[in-house]
Amino acid sequence: MSASSTENQPVSVLIHPSQFPGAVEISMRDSLRSRAMNHKFHYDTPKQALRWLRVHESLSPARTDHDCERIYNAAMADCAARMSGVSEVEVISLGCGGGQKDALLIRHLIGSVANLQLRYAPVDVSAGLAIIARSAAIEAGVVPDSITPMCIDLAESSNWKSALSPILTTRKRIVCFFGMLPNFVSNEVMPQLGSILRDGDFLLLSANLAPGNDYHAGVINSLPLYDNELTRDWLWSVLLDIGVEKNAGEMMFSIVPCPNGNDLLRIESRVVFNRECRVEFGGESFIFGVGDSVRLFFSYRHTPARLATLLATQQIIIQESWINKNGDEGVFLCRRTGN
């Protein structure tokens, strides 16, 4: 069955309480109070999801670098080959986006594993993206009834194992974490990933890397992937949606150390106000004076060695890795070694 043949049929999506309207309103108020935007507001509405997809298609090395196609294809093929002899598999994609990488994995699994019984759970803060990923999986060969899309704000979920329990089964598990690592503080997210990996389960993740031997210089070289008009328009749109015009401030990008004390660096986007601005939201007024700022976004850059150290804290080892020739994108096949 093709995805196009199901587009006029209702689709069930599990909505976690973190994405109930009241929780979303609280999260936006918290973002305005703390002057640090929850990343979900760049993705969670259909309009924002489509804006992100345009940025991703135009700028992400995973979509623009042909060598990235090679490494992702090699990673999916390797993972599928390791599932030989396993008849029941579940693929859980955290932050599934449009589901292109998941669909590639699914095609390799179907081609490599005889009589495969596959369940797929596309999980995203955007219900629209989870549905798009569902369609991609159907095109790749998954039976629609074996797909359970879920909408959840993982950043607001303190216990991922509990929050994801409706989609977790006893099957052999492949957890995909593509494009998500940059937007989480690593020593906070690693225990969450570790909680849903059982002994022998696989983790497929991607990481934005700082190319070259000089970590700081590599992060600087990555700035143009963020500091560009397409990304600026996407990031600013969350402020436009709450009434902040573009002439109210200037967007700036900078490189800052991780606030939790590890040795990672991240690229931050902030808007610095050049005039007083009042935002009315949820019955509250938020006033930003001249020189005040709001952090809209951050993205960590890793190295393979730093990533291996972080994973090891949860008894997760990297079994294989694939790095593109530019050195700015890596795919890592990992496995839990104890529980």
The pTM score is: 0.90
Q: Give percent above pLDDT 70 in the chain.
A: 97
CATH 3.40.50.150 domain range(s) in the chain? 3-212+303-336
- The pLDDT of residue 50 is 83
User: How would residue 48 be classed by pLDDT, with cut points 50, 70 and 90?
Assistant: confident
- Which are the contacts of 165, defined by CB distance < 8 A and separation ≥ 6? none
List alpha helices for the chain, DSSP H: 21-34, 46-59, 61-64, 66-82, 100-112, 127-140, 160-163, 186-196, 215-221, 229-240, 304-312
pLDDT digits 0-9 by tens, 111-137: 988 889 999 999 999 999 999 999 999
Alpha carbon 224 to chain centroid, angstroms: 20
**AA identity, residue 8:** N
User: How would residue 43 be classed by pLDDT, with cut points 50, 70 and 90?
Assistant: confident
The answer to whether residues 133 and 98 touch, using CB atoms and an 8 Å cutoff, is yes
- The pLDDT of residue 4 is 44
Q: Beta strands 117-124 and 150-151: pairing type?
A: parallel
Determine the Cα–Cα distance for residues 238 and 226; give it in Å rounded to an integer. 16
Q: 299-320 burial, b for 16+ CB within 10 Å, e for fewer? A: bbbbbeebbbebbeebebebee
pLDDT digits 0-9 by tens, 169-198: 999 999 999 999 999 988 889 999 999 999
User: How would residue 289 be classed by pLDDT, with cut points 50, 70 and 90?
Assistant: very high
pLDDT digits 0-9 by tens, 234-283: 999 999 999 999 999 999 999 999 988 778 999 999 999 999 999 999 89
* DSSP-derived secondary structure letter, 213: S
| Both structure tokens of 200 | 């022998």
Determine the Cα–Cα distance for residues 219 and 209; give it in Å rounded to an integer. 8
Q: List the CATH code of the domain at 3-212+303-336.
A: 3.40.50.150
